[in-house]
Structure 1
Amino acid sequence: MTYVVTDNCIRCKFMDCVAACPVDCFYEGENMLVIHPDECIDCGVCEPECPADAIRTADHAEGAPWVALNARYAQVWPNIAEKKEPPDDAQAWMGVPDKFTTVFSAAPAAE
């Protein structure tokens, strides 16, 4: 079962997962990452690397609602294969509830 990124990533975007991924299946939005479900090899190395605890399997109760969003934005956001610096306020956003409805951006990462 593929892995997905959940709303815990929004405004945190630490990118430790990107450095761990052996197949470069992460895609970068302005304030969140997603995993391309057709590229993920289900190895699971990204999940424990995420400081924000934002990665789940697609069949997990917390992951299932995020499958469609990950698939959708992996088609339009740029691929990211190297870890970048997280936002300056990433720590402050860890654990903040309802980030998808309040601060999610559909825009791709600035290149």
Structure 2
Amino acid sequence: MAFIITSPCIGEKSGECVEVCPVDCIEEGKDMFYIDPDICIDCGACEAVCPVDAIYMEDELPEEESKYIGLNRQFFEGQSD
């Protein structure tokens, strides 16, 4: 299970989440940040500092934000280490 960044991040991109992530699993996209679910260690550091409350644990994600599970994963597909 991983944390998911959702719609309140669109256009916000404050970046506090990136600064506190101990495993560097958050990357900036064109309009928002994304969390790599394969690297996220579920520490919750990002969720605590998000100024727009855009970050949720996957199993606590509001139903209307469920598409962001796939969007976060898709952002990292095809990227090589």
Question: What is the TM-score normalised by the length of structure 1?
Answer: 0.64
2:32 counterpart of 1:32: yes
**C-alpha RMSD over aligned residues:** 1.6
The structural deviation recorded for 1:17 is 0.4
Distance 1:76 1:18, change over 3 A: farther
Rounded Cα–Cα distance in structure 2 between residues aligned with 1:68 and 1:13: 19
Q: Is the 8 A contact 1:27 1:74 kept in 2?
A: no
The structural deviation recorded for 1:76 is 5.8
Runs of 4+ in 1 over 3 A off after TM superposition: none
Q: Is the 8 A contact 1:17 1:49 kept in 2?
A: yes
Rounded Cα–Cα distance in structure 1 between residues aligned with 2:20 and 2:73: 20
For structure 1, the 5+ residue unaligned runs are 78-111
Q: Is the 8 A contact 2:3 2:42 kept in 1?
A: yes
Q: What secondary structure, in the 3-state scheme, does the structure 2 residue paired with 1:4 have?
A: strand
Kindly report which structure 2 residues correspond to 1:52-63, keeping only aligned pairs within 5 A, or say none: 52-62=52-62
Which protein has the bigger helix share? 2
Q: Identity across aligned pairs (percent)?
A: 43
Question: What is the TM-score normalised by the length of structure 2?
Answer: 0.85
Kindly report which structure 2 residues correspond to 1:1-111, keeping only aligned pairs within 5 A, or say none: 1-62=1-62, 64-75=66-77
In our comparison, the structure showing a higher alpha carbon Rg is 1
